[in-house]
Amino acid sequence: MDDAGEKEKRAGRRLWTIAAVVFSLLVLSIFIGRYPRPFLTPLSALIDNELARSLVFHLRLPRILMAFLLGTVLSASGAVFQMIFRNPLVDSGFLGVSQGAAFGASLGIIYLGGTALGVQATAAAFAFLGLAASYFIARRIRWGDWVFRLVLAGISVAALFSAGTGILKYLADPLKHLPDITFWLLGGLWAVTWPDFWQVLPVAGAGLAVMFLMRWRLNLLSMRDETAFSLGLAPGRERIVLLSAAVAATAVLVSKAGQVTWVGLIIPHIARRVVGADAQQMVPASIFIGGIFVLFCDDLARAVLSGEIPLGILTSLFGTVIFIVLLSTRRLRLKA
C-alpha cells in the first residue's frame, strides 16, 4: 500500500509539472509567429502595434486554443482505444473515423464546391459513418470475441474509405480540386477563426469530459468480458459510451483540421512512461502531453518558414521519430 501511495503521489506531482508546462507553452505561443518579426513577437509590439494586437487576438489565439484542443482530444481518444481494445498500436482513426472524414472531405471539395461548411459537414458525417459501419460489420461477424470482431471491421472500413479517397483523387480536376484534397489531407489549422473554435468546442469538450470522467473505468474495461462481468460491470454499454465520445470529439476536430496523424498512437505511450499505466493518471497525462505536442508542432508550422508547413507533416515526422525511440528503448505495454 505504501508503494502504491508513493507511486500515486509521484504521478500527481508529475501531472502538476506537466500542467505547468502546458500553461507556459500556451502563454509563449501567443508571442510565436511571423509578424511583426519572425519567430518571437516582442511584448512592446503588442502594446504599440494595433495590427499586431488584432492578429494575435483574432487569428493567433483561436488557432492556439484549437491546436491544444486537437492534441488533447486525439491523445485522450488514443488512450481510450488502446485500453478498450487491449492493443497498444491503435489510435482514434482505428474504426475508420479519420479515413471516413478524409473521404467525406474529398466529396465536399469535388461536389459541394469546396466550401468550408460543405467540407466540414461531409467530413464529420462520414467520420460517424465509419464508426457505424465498423459496428454494423462487427455485429455481422459470427466468430471471435467482440474486440477481435471490431478490430477486423475497423481495418476493413478504413481500407474501404482509403480506396474511395484514392478514387476521388483520381477523378478530381487536377488543376482545381486535386490540390485542395491533397492539402486538406496534409492537415493544418491555417484557416481557424473564433467561430470555428466555438463550433467544435461543445462536442469536443463534451467528448473530452466523458473520457476524463470515465477514466477510472478504463482499468476495468481493459479486462476480458468475463472478468468485467464478474465485477458487476456492463462492459458493452460502457465501451459504446466511451467509443462514441472519442469518435464524436475526433470527428468534429478532424473536419476542421484535416488529417493529423500519430498523435493518438504515441502520446498515450509517453504518458504511461511518465505517470504509469493506471488510467486515472494516464488519461490526464495524455491530455496534457497531447496538447503540448500538437501546440508545439503548430508553433513550428507557422513560425519556421514564411510559407506554412502543414501540421500533419510535422506530427508525422516527430511522431515517427518518437515511436522509433519508444520501440528501441522499451517494449510497448498496457500494464505497469
How far does the chain reach from its first CA to its final CA, in angstroms?
Answer: 16
Q: What letter represents residue 264's amino acid? A: G
Q: How far is CA 292 from CA 15, 67, 98, 146, in A?
A: 13, 9, 21, 34
How far is the C-alpha of 81 from the C-alpha of 274, rounded, in Å? 19
How far is the C-alpha of 255 from the C-alpha of 271, rounded, in Å? 26
Q: What letter represents residue 283's amino acid? A: V
Among 52-66, 86-100, 153-167, 280-294, the minimum mean pLDDT is found in 86-100
- Tell me which residue has cell 507557422: 302
pLDDT per residue as tens digits for the range 50-99 = 888 888 899 999 999 999 999 999 999 999 988 888 778 778 777 788 88
Q: Label residue 336 by pLDDT band (50, 70, 90).
A: very low
Q: What letter represents residue 203's amino acid? A: V
- Tell me which residue has cell 517494449: 331
C-alpha cell at 227: 472478468
Q: How far is CA 331 from CA 75, 260, 279, 324, in A?
A: 20, 25, 19, 11
Among 137-146, 151-160, 174-183, 293-302, the minimum mean pLDDT is found in 137-146
**Short-list 92, 98, 122, 105, CA closest to 267:** 92
**Short-list 315, 214, 243, 293, CA closest to 78:** 243
What pLDDT does 320 receive?
93
How far is the C-alpha of 58 from the C-alpha of 85, rounded, in Å? 41
How far is the C-alpha of 305 from the C-alpha of 33, rounded, in Å? 10
208 and 253 in contact (C-beta within 8 Å)?
A: no
pLDDT per residue as tens digits for the range 213-225 = 999 888 888 777 6
47 and 5 in contact (C-beta within 8 Å)?
A: no
Q: Give the residue-averaged pLDDT of 115-125.
A: 81
**Short-list 201, 202, 332, 175, CA closest to 269:** 332
96: left (phi over 0), alpha (psi -120 to 50) or beta: left
Q: Which residues pair with 33 in a beta bridge?
A: 39
Q: At 235, is the secondary structure helix, strand, or coil?
A: helix
Q: Which residues pair with 40 in a beta bridge?
A: 32
Return the H-helix or E-strand segment holding 40. strand 39-40
Share of the chain above pLDDT 90, in %: 42
What's the angle, vertex CA 75, arms to CA 70 and CA 79, rounded to 5? 150
The pTM of this model reads: 0.89
